[in-house]
Amino acid sequence: MVPDESSIQYDAKEGGQFTKHPTARIHVLPSFGKASNRGDLRSQEGTTAESTIYSGVIIRPFAMVYAEAIVHSDTFIGDQAIVRELTSVGKNCIIGAGSIIENNCFIGDRVRIMTRVYICAFSIIGDDCFIGPGVLTTNDRYLGSGDPERRRRERRGPTLEPGVRLGAGVVTLPGVTIASGVVIGAGGIVTKSIMTPGVYVEYGARLDRLRDEV
C-alpha cells in the first residue's frame, strides 16, 4: 500500500508549503500497526501512520523518512540517508548522504551529521552537535547475545549534550554521556561518559579481559 501525496503533512502554523519536484515520486512508507515502545511496527490491521515533514525540508534522492518520524523545518536529508520511525530531527539540521538515524532518536536543532554516520536507536543528540563522517554509535552491550528481552530493556544509545563535536570515525559504546564542550578527535573510542570539557583523543586497542562472554 502506498498512500498518495495527501498523506504528507506540512506545518500550516509556520505557513509552510510542501513542494514536490516534478520528477519526484512520493512514497509515504506505511506502518502496519501502532508502534510499540521499542519502536517496532507491529502488524495490526486497519492502522496506518504518517511521517511529518515541516516546511523547507529538502529530501535528496533515495533518502527515506519512515512513518512516524518527524523532520522539522529547513533540515536537509542527503542522498540515501534514512530516518526511521519515532525519531525526531530538529530544525536546520544536516543529515549527510548515506547516514542512518535509527528509531526512537532525538536529534536537536542545527545538528550537523556528516556522510555515512550510524546513529543507533535511543540516541539523544543535543542542539548544535557536529558528528564527523563515519561515526558509529552503539546501544547493545551484549553484542546481540543472551536474553533478547534483557538486551532490549538495557539498550542505551549515547547522550550528546549540546555542542559536542565528534571527529571522523569516532565510536561510542552503549549508554555513554558526553558533556557540552567536549571534542573527540578522529578515530577516538568513547568507552565511558566524559563530563569534563576538553579535546580527547583515544586510540589503539588494549587487552581488556581474557574471556569469551561480555
Ligand X SMILES: CC(C)(COP(=O)(O)OP(=O)(O)OC[C@H]1O[C@@H](n2cnc3c(N)ncnc32)[C@H](O)[C@@H]1OP(=O)(O)O)[C@@H](O)C(=O)NCCC(=O)NCCS
Provide, rounded to whole angstroms, the least separation between the CB of residue 89 and ligand X.
20
Phi/psi at 160 (nearest 5 deg)?
-105, 120
Out of 8, 58, 100, 168, the residue judged to bind ligand X by CB under 6 A: 168
Q: Single out the residue of 116, 122, 150, 137 nearest to residue 184, CA to CA.
A: 137
Q: Considering the rule CB under 6 A, would residue 187 count as an interface residue with ligand X?
A: yes
Task: Give 187 or 197: the residue with its C-beta nearer to ligand X.
Answer: 187
Q: Strand 177-178 to strand 159-160: parallel, antiparallel, or no bridges (unpaired)?
A: parallel
Out of 78, 132, 157, 158, the residue judged to bind ligand X by CB under 6 A: 132
Q: Considering the rule CB under 6 A, would residue 167 count as an interface residue with ligand X?
A: yes
Q: Single out the residue of 166, 164, 172 nearest to residue 140, CA to CA.
A: 172
Q: What DSSP line would sit under 53-94, residue for residue?
A: E-TT-EE-TT-EE-TT-EE-TT-EE-TT-EE-TT-EE-TT-E
Q: Considering the rule CB under 6 A, would residue 201 count as an interface residue with ligand X?
A: yes
Residue 57 exposed, middle or buried by CB count within 10 Å (0-12, 13-18, 19+):
buried
Of 38-46, 88-96, 154-162, 195-203, the segment contacting ligand X by CB under 6 A is 195-203
Out of 58, 100, 186, 189, the residue judged to bind ligand X by CB under 6 A: 186
Provide, rounded to whole angstroms, the least separation between the CB of residue 174 and ligand X.
22
Out of 110, 185, 189, 197, the residue judged to bind ligand X by CB under 6 A: 185
Out of 13, 37, 43, 203, the residue judged to bind ligand X by CB under 6 A: 203
CA atoms within 13 A on the CB side of 177: 6
Provide, rounded to whole angstroms, the least separation between the CB of residue 180 and ligand X.
17
Task: Give 30 or 187: the residue with its C-beta nearer to ligand X.
Answer: 187
CA distance from start to end of the chain? 42
Size of the site for ligand X (CB under 6 A): 11
Task: Give 31 or 137: the residue with its C-beta nearer to ligand X.
Answer: 137
Q: Considering the rule CB under 6 A, would residue 198 count as an interface residue with ligand X?
A: no
Provide, rounded to whole angstroms, the least separation between the CB of residue 133 and ligand X.
6
Phi/psi at 178 (nearest 5 deg)?
-120, 125
Interface residues with ligand X (CB under 6 A) are: 132-133, 167-168, 183, 185-187, 199, 201, 203
